[in-house]
Amino acid sequence: MEIISSQVSSVVMVLITGAIWGAFLDVYRIKRRRRKYSHIQTAIGDLLFWVFSFALVSLGLLISNWMEIRLYVPLALLSGFLLYSLLGRPVISPLAQGAFSLIDLLSLPGRKIQEWVRIFTKTLTPINKIYSSKVTKETKTKD
């Protein structure tokens, strides 16, 4: 009986891993759609997503069954992902979108300050060039 309970707990853990992976994929998908990224940023983001996905699935498999790949493992991963898609996505997706909106809202003052600094710097650059040229002329005449 102990062997069956061990296998059932292993399958449940792989199901949970598949659901967590589905949530991770969903949050990454939402993040990518919120803003236009360059091709390099997209490639780096995709690479990091797959590295973290591999680490997540590997850790889940290591915890659940010492990374033994059996027939039920891909089936349970897929089932966990589908379970998340049916039950978790309607809950997690709006929460993730709200969290990203809140982050955007909280970072707005910082972006405005950055914009003001950029404008201030652009207006000071011509003044700085004029001043620095006067200073260099004055130092040359003193020598």
The shares of helix, strand and coil residues in the chain, as percent rounded to the nearest 5, are 90, 0, 10
Give the pair of three-digit tokens for residue 53.
Answer: 């996905």
Q: Tens of pLDDT along 51-107?
A: 999 999 999 989 888 888 888 899 999 999 999 999 999 999 999 999 989 988 888
Alpha-carbon span 70 to 84, nearest angstrom: 22
Closest CA to 53 of 22, 9, 8, 31: 22
Q: What rounded mean pLDDT belongs to the chain?
A: 86
pLDDT of residue 86: 96
Answer for the pair 79, 18: CB distance below 8 angstroms, yes or no: yes
Answer for the pair 25, 77: CB distance below 8 angstroms, yes or no: no
Buried b (16+ CB within 10 A) or exposed e, 93-118: eeebeeebeeeeeeeeeeeeeeeeee
Alpha-carbon span 125 to 117, nearest angstrom: 12
| Residues belonging to the chain | 143
Residue type, 121: T
pLDDT tier for residue 41 given thresholds of 50, 70 and 90: very high
For residue 23, give the 3-state DSSP assignment.
Answer: helix
